[in-house]
Protein backbone atom coordinates (compact mmCIF):
# COMPACT_ATOMS: atom_id res chain seq x y z
CA UNK A 1 0.00 0.00 0.00
CA UNK A 2 2.81 2.37 0.89
CA UNK A 3 4.12 2.44 -2.67
CA UNK A 4 0.70 2.63 -4.36
CA UNK A 5 -0.17 6.22 -3.50
CA UNK A 6 2.89 8.35 -4.24
CA UNK A 7 3.30 11.77 -5.87
CA UNK A 8 4.77 9.94 -8.89
CA UNK A 9 1.84 7.52 -9.21
CA UNK A 10 -0.80 10.14 -8.56
CA UNK A 11 0.69 12.45 -11.18
CA UNK A 12 0.66 9.54 -13.67
CA UNK A 13 -3.03 8.91 -12.93
CA UNK A 14 -3.88 12.61 -13.26
CA UNK A 15 -4.59 13.06 -9.55
CA UNK A 16 -3.10 15.26 -6.86
CA UNK A 17 -1.17 13.34 -4.19
CA UNK A 18 -2.16 15.79 -1.43
CA UNK A 19 -5.88 15.28 -2.14
CA UNK A 20 -5.61 11.48 -2.35
CA UNK A 21 -3.44 11.27 0.78
CA UNK A 22 -5.75 13.59 2.73
CA UNK A 23 -8.72 11.40 1.79
CA UNK A 24 -6.68 8.36 2.79
CA UNK A 25 -5.91 9.87 6.21
CA UNK A 26 -9.58 10.76 6.77
CA UNK A 27 -10.58 7.22 5.75
CA UNK A 28 -8.06 5.67 8.15
CA UNK A 29 -9.33 7.82 11.02
CA UNK A 30 -12.99 7.06 10.25
CA UNK A 31 -12.32 3.34 9.87
CA UNK A 32 -10.48 3.21 13.19
CA UNK A 33 -13.22 5.20 14.92
CA UNK A 34 -15.86 2.84 13.50
CA UNK A 35 -14.11 -0.27 14.80
CA UNK A 36 -13.40 1.37 18.16
CA UNK A 37 -17.02 2.50 18.56
CA UNK A 38 -18.34 -0.99 17.75
CA UNK A 39 -15.91 -2.65 20.16
CA UNK A 40 -16.57 -0.08 22.89
CA UNK A 41 -20.30 -0.73 22.46
CA UNK A 42 -19.77 -4.48 22.77
CA UNK A 43 -17.55 -3.88 25.79
CA UNK A 44 -20.33 -1.86 27.44
CA UNK A 45 -22.36 -5.08 27.52
CA UNK A 46 -19.67 -6.85 29.55
CA UNK A 47 -19.51 -6.83 33.33
CA UNK A 48 -16.93 -4.46 34.85
CA UNK A 49 -13.45 -5.82 34.20
CA UNK A 50 -10.04 -5.25 35.80
CA UNK A 51 -9.13 -3.08 32.80
CA UNK A 52 -5.42 -2.54 33.49
CA UNK A 53 -4.78 -6.23 34.08
CA UNK A 54 -6.70 -7.39 31.02
CA UNK A 55 -5.23 -4.67 28.77
CA UNK A 56 -1.74 -5.48 30.05
CA UNK A 57 -2.29 -9.17 29.43
CA UNK A 58 -3.50 -8.39 25.88
CA UNK A 59 -0.35 -6.35 25.21
CA UNK A 60 1.91 -9.05 26.62
CA UNK A 61 0.16 -11.73 24.55
CA UNK A 62 0.49 -9.54 21.47
CA UNK A 63 4.22 -9.09 22.18
CA UNK A 64 4.63 -12.84 22.53
CA UNK A 65 2.71 -13.47 19.31
CA UNK A 66 4.79 -10.90 17.42
CA UNK A 67 8.03 -12.36 18.79
CA UNK A 68 7.28 -15.72 17.17
CA UNK A 69 8.26 -15.78 13.48
CA UNK A 70 5.49 -16.44 10.98
CA UNK A 71 2.24 -14.90 9.89
CA UNK A 72 -0.77 -14.29 12.03
CA UNK A 73 -3.71 -16.38 10.81
CA UNK A 74 -5.81 -13.25 10.22
CA UNK A 75 -6.90 -11.11 7.31
CA UNK A 76 -5.55 -12.51 4.06
CA UNK A 77 -6.97 -9.84 1.72
CA UNK A 78 -5.46 -6.61 0.45
CA UNK A 79 -7.23 -3.49 -0.74
CA UNK A 80 -8.33 -3.80 -4.37
CA UNK A 81 -5.61 -2.05 -6.36
CA UNK A 82 -7.83 -2.06 -9.45
CA UNK A 83 -9.50 0.95 -7.82
CA UNK A 84 -6.38 2.97 -8.71
CA UNK A 85 -7.38 2.92 -12.37
CA UNK A 86 -11.15 3.01 -11.89
CA UNK A 87 -11.84 5.87 -9.49
CA UNK A 88 -10.70 9.37 -8.68
CA UNK A 89 -7.86 9.69 -6.19
CA UNK A 90 -10.00 10.93 -3.32
CA UNK A 91 -12.39 7.98 -3.78
CA UNK A 92 -9.77 5.24 -3.58
CA UNK A 93 -7.83 7.21 -0.97
CA UNK A 94 -10.90 7.30 1.26
CA UNK A 95 -11.79 3.68 0.49
CA UNK A 96 -8.30 2.29 1.04
CA UNK A 97 -7.93 4.34 4.20
CA UNK A 98 -11.27 3.24 5.63
CA UNK A 99 -10.45 -0.43 5.05
CA UNK A 100 -7.00 -0.13 6.59
CA UNK A 101 -8.35 1.96 9.48
CA UNK A 102 -10.87 -0.75 10.34
CA UNK A 103 -7.83 -2.82 11.23
CA UNK A 104 -9.26 -6.27 10.56
CA UNK A 105 -10.53 -6.44 6.97
CA UNK A 106 -7.06 -6.49 5.39
CA UNK A 107 -3.86 -8.36 6.23
CA UNK A 108 -3.04 -8.03 9.94
CA UNK A 109 0.76 -7.90 10.11
CA UNK A 110 1.14 -7.46 13.85
CA UNK A 111 -0.63 -8.66 16.96
CA UNK A 112 -0.31 -5.06 18.13
CA UNK A 113 -3.48 -4.46 16.12
CA UNK A 114 -5.26 -7.04 18.25
CA UNK A 115 -3.98 -5.36 21.42
CA UNK A 116 -5.45 -2.04 20.26
CA UNK A 117 -8.76 -3.76 19.52
CA UNK A 118 -8.73 -5.26 23.02
CA UNK A 119 -8.11 -1.84 24.54
CA UNK A 120 -11.05 -0.39 22.54
CA UNK A 121 -13.26 -3.22 23.86
CA UNK A 122 -12.02 -2.67 27.40
CA UNK A 123 -13.01 0.99 27.38
CA UNK A 124 -16.54 -0.36 27.72
CA UNK A 125 -17.72 2.87 26.10
CA UNK A 126 -18.65 3.61 22.48
CA UNK A 127 -17.17 7.11 22.77
CA UNK A 128 -13.88 6.05 24.38
CA UNK A 129 -13.65 3.06 22.05
CA UNK A 130 -14.11 5.40 19.09
CA UNK A 131 -11.33 7.61 20.48
CA UNK A 132 -8.96 4.63 20.77
CA UNK A 133 -9.88 3.62 17.22
CA UNK A 134 -9.44 7.18 15.95
CA UNK A 135 -5.89 7.30 17.32
CA UNK A 136 -5.17 3.85 15.87
CA UNK A 137 -6.55 4.77 12.44
CA UNK A 138 -4.71 8.08 12.39
CA UNK A 139 -1.46 6.30 13.23
CA UNK A 140 -2.07 3.91 10.33
CA UNK A 141 -2.22 6.90 7.99
CA UNK A 142 1.17 8.32 9.01
CA UNK A 143 3.35 6.05 6.83
CA UNK A 144 1.73 7.64 3.75
CA UNK A 145 3.76 10.76 4.51
CA UNK A 146 6.99 8.81 3.99
CA UNK A 147 6.42 8.80 0.22
CA UNK A 148 5.89 12.55 -0.15
CA UNK A 149 9.28 13.01 -1.90
CA UNK A 150 8.82 10.14 -4.36
CA UNK A 151 8.71 11.91 -7.70
CA UNK A 152 10.89 9.57 -9.77
CA UNK A 153 10.94 5.76 -10.20
CA UNK A 154 14.44 5.41 -8.71
CA UNK A 155 13.29 7.19 -5.54
CA UNK A 156 10.40 4.74 -5.23
CA UNK A 157 12.71 1.75 -5.59
CA UNK A 158 15.14 3.24 -3.06
CA UNK A 159 12.35 3.88 -0.57
CA UNK A 160 11.01 0.34 -0.96
CA UNK A 161 14.49 -1.07 -0.27
CA UNK A 162 14.92 1.11 2.85
CA UNK A 163 11.53 0.11 4.21
CA UNK A 164 12.39 -3.56 3.71
CA UNK A 165 15.81 -3.11 5.35
CA UNK A 166 14.22 -1.62 8.47
CA UNK A 167 11.29 -4.03 8.77
CA UNK A 168 13.05 -6.35 11.24
CA UNK A 169 14.02 -3.41 13.47
CA UNK A 170 10.44 -2.13 13.38
CA UNK A 171 9.15 -5.57 14.34
CA UNK A 172 11.55 -5.82 17.30
CA UNK A 173 10.62 -2.31 18.41
CA UNK A 174 6.93 -3.24 18.31
CA UNK A 175 7.54 -6.31 20.46
CA UNK A 176 9.55 -4.29 22.98
CA UNK A 177 6.91 -1.54 23.15
CA UNK A 178 4.10 -4.05 23.63
CA UNK A 179 6.04 -5.91 26.32
CA UNK A 180 6.92 -2.68 28.16
CA UNK A 181 3.38 -1.30 27.90
CA UNK A 182 1.87 -4.61 28.98
CA UNK A 183 4.19 -4.83 31.96
CA UNK A 184 3.33 -1.31 33.07
CA UNK A 185 -0.42 -1.98 32.71
CA UNK A 186 -0.23 -5.26 34.63
CA UNK A 187 1.85 -3.65 37.39
CA UNK A 188 -0.65 -0.77 37.58
CA UNK A 189 -3.52 -3.24 37.80
CA UNK A 190 -1.84 -5.23 40.57
CA UNK A 191 -1.02 -2.13 42.60
pLDDT tens per residue, range 56-85:
888 888 888 888 777 666 666 788 888 888
pLDDT class for 3, splitting at 50, 70, 90? confident
pLDDT of residue 188: 82
Label residues 82-108 b or e (16+ Cβ within 10 Å = b).
eebeeeebbebbbbbbbbbbbbeebeb
pLDDT of residue 61: 86
* Per-residue model confidence as pLDDT tens digits over 98-156: 999 999 888 888 888 989 999 999 999 999 999 999 999 999 999 899 888 888 889 88
pLDDT of residue 72: 67
- State the average pLDDT over residues 21-29: 97
Return mean pLDDT, the chain. Answer: 89
Q: Which residues, 6+ apart, have CB-to-CB distance to 42 below 8 Å?
A: 121
Domain boundaries, the chain: 7-190
DSSP string covering 116-180, please?
HHHHHHHT-SHHHHHHHHHHHHHHHHGGGGGGTT--SHHHHHHHHHHHHHTHHHHHHHHHHHHHH
Amino acid sequence: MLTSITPLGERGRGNRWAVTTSAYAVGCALGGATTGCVLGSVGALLPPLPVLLVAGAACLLAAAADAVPGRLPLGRRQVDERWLGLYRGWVYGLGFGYQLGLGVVTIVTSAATLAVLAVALLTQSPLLGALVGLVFGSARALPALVVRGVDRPERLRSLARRVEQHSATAARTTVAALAAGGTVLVAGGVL
